[in-house]
């Protein structure tokens, strides 16, 4: 049977299906179904359940909000760049700015407390990769992404940029400190 | 006396005006397939995607 020649019958649809062709179709279809249902499965069981809460904003407006948080809740600074470490109020809105080539500020969150983490870039695309938890979010300029976050384990985590953003992309990393809640 | 065939042989379908099945009409129409191949992904991905992005609210 050749596919180059036109069909022998005018009503070729009614020709009985060749066994090999039928088997091939079944195998290909079953694999398509596997790949299709893997998507909702992994969404649930792989916990790929990223929030879709986002807002359009400008770098100026967003930086103002981040600066207000930094002004109120800075506890110390780190590195030669004097990046402020911020310990925000549990349950509040927390702002993280991604820009060439740093994350600003460094966040210190309390274990077991929930925060609304806002992430935005003031220039172009960056990535937010929380390691070793491996939570990955794309950071877009002009769009403020909001994630409701509850740190469950005390420790020091790394935030790295996993979206190539220029010559110093490899240096774009930060820390996330999770500490025991303050008493009183 | 002429003989009337009991049932038409397959080749006789070409002579009889039996309707072409819907699926065959679809697959035999390359320009319809071309249109669907462009229109379906454009609507389902591009148009739907742009509608979602345009619907993102402004930050307060």
ipTM: 0.71
Assign 3-class secondary structure to B1-60: CCCCCCCCCHHHHHCCCCCCCHHHHHHCCHHHHHHHHHHHHHHHHHHHHHHHHHCCCECC
- Check residue A101 and report its DSSP letter: T
Cis, peptide link before residue A105, omega less than 30° from 0: yes
The distance from CA A50 to its chain's CA centroid, rounded to whole angstroms, is 7
What is the least distance, in Å, from the CA of B16 to any CA of chain A? Answer: 11
Q: Which residue of B has its CA nearest to A6?
A: B28
**A57 touches B at CB < 8 Å:** yes
Domain boundaries, chain B: 23-60
For A57-100, the pLDDT digits (tens) are: 999 999 999 999 999 999 999 888 889 999 999 999 999 999 99
Average pLDDT of the residues in B11-32: 80
Cβ-defined contact of A9 to B59 (cutoff 8 Å) = no
For A118-171, the pLDDT digits (tens) are: 999 999 999 999 999 889 999 999 999 999 999 999 999 999 999 999 999 999
Average pLDDT of the residues in B3-14: 51
**A3 touches B at CB < 8 Å:** no
Cβ-defined contact of A11 to B59 (cutoff 8 Å) = no
For A18-36, the pLDDT digits (tens) are: 999 999 999 999 999 999 9
């Amino acid at each position: 049977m050749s596919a180059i020649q036109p069909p022998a019958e005018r009503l070729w649809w009614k020709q009985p299906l060749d066994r090999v062709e039928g088997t091939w179709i079944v195998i290909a279809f079953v694999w398509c179904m596997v790949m299709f249902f893997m998507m909702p499965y992994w969404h649930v069981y792989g916990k790929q359940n990223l929030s879709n809460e986002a807002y359009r904003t400008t770098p100026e407006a967003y930086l103002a909000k981040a600066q207000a948080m930094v002004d109120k809740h800075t506890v110390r600074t780190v590195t030669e760049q004097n990046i402020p470490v911020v310990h925000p109020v549990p349950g509040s809105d927390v702002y993280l700015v991604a820009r060439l080539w740093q994350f600003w500020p460094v966040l210190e969150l309390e274990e077991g407390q929930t925060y609304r983490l806002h992430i935005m870039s003031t220039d172009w695309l960056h990535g937010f990769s929380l390691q070793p938890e491996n939570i990955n979010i794309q950071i877009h300029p002009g769009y403020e992404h909001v994630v409701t976050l509850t740190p469950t384990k005390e420790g020091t985590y790394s935030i790295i940029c996993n979206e190539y953003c220029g010559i110093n992309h490899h240096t774009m990393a930060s820390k996330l400190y999770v500490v025991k809640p303050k008493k009183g | 006396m002429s003989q009337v065939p009991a049932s038409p042989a397959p080749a006789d379908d070409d002579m009889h005006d039996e309707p072409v099945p819907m699926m065959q009409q679809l697959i035999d129409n390359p320009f319809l397939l071309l249109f669907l191949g462009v229109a379906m992904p454009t609507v389902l991905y591009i148009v739907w995607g742009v509608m979602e992005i345009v619907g993102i609210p402004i930050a307060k």
